Amino acid sequence: MRIHLLLIPLLGFLLAGCPGSINHTQKKIEENDLNLPNPTGRNGLGIRFMLSELFETDYYSHFSLNSSNSLTFSTQNSEILVSIERFTPSALSGIQFQNPIENQPDLEALRDYFAEKRKASSQNSIISEPIELYSKTKKKGWMQSVEDTHSGNNYDLHYLIGTISFKGNFYVVQMVSGKENMAYLLDDFLELIKSIR
């Protein structure tokens, strides 16, 4: 619940509609055929990945579940947030210990853990069925989306969550924005995962 409460002011500010702030990021995306422009190489957590120049390191948004091994990025005024988290095999033992499904593979246990945590932090959420990522990204993993609808508020948060196994560790990549943005952000999310080296 704490994670979710920290996000609400940031994304609420954006999605409630502040006139000049949304336009900078939105304008750059529209000028680039609804794609995040100019991906640049970033390093961290033992990997290298490509992320649009619109994103800056964000030290204030805390929506990761493994904050000691995570990176968070946001666009101007936090219209779009991205986090990448690393879990070692030993870190997954705690998640597996809590897992109600006996002998579930680690990657699937981590996927389900994240989806359930997102669901628990919301009063009203919809979780998609998991989709395998390999055919779209050449990475062993899963993708799910969680739509977090807030009754009585003016915005809905939408999470894209990718869970992958890479170089002996497990990574969770999240992209969070308003629901209306996700139709054109999905391909950028998949490109981000595909770019991980």
pLDDT (tens digit, 9 = 90+) per residue, 6-47?
444 344 444 444 444 456 788 888 999 999 999 999 999 999
pLDDT 10s digits, 73-120: 999 877 899 999 999 999 888 888 888 888 899 999 999 998 888 888
* Residues 132-151 pLDDT 10s: 999 999 999 999 999 887 65
For the chain, the structural domain boundaries read 2-194
173: left (phi over 0), alpha (psi -120 to 50) or beta: beta
pTM as predicted:
0.84
Q: Which fold has domain 2-194?
A: Protein Transport Mog1p; Chain A (3.40.1000)
Cβ atoms of 49 and 33 closer than 8 Å = no
Alpha-carbon distance 143 to 151, whole Å? Answer: 26
> Under a CB-based contact definition with an 8 Å cutoff, are residues 187 and 168 in contact?
no
| CA-only gyration radius of the chain, Å | 16
Distance CA 52, CA 31 (A): 14
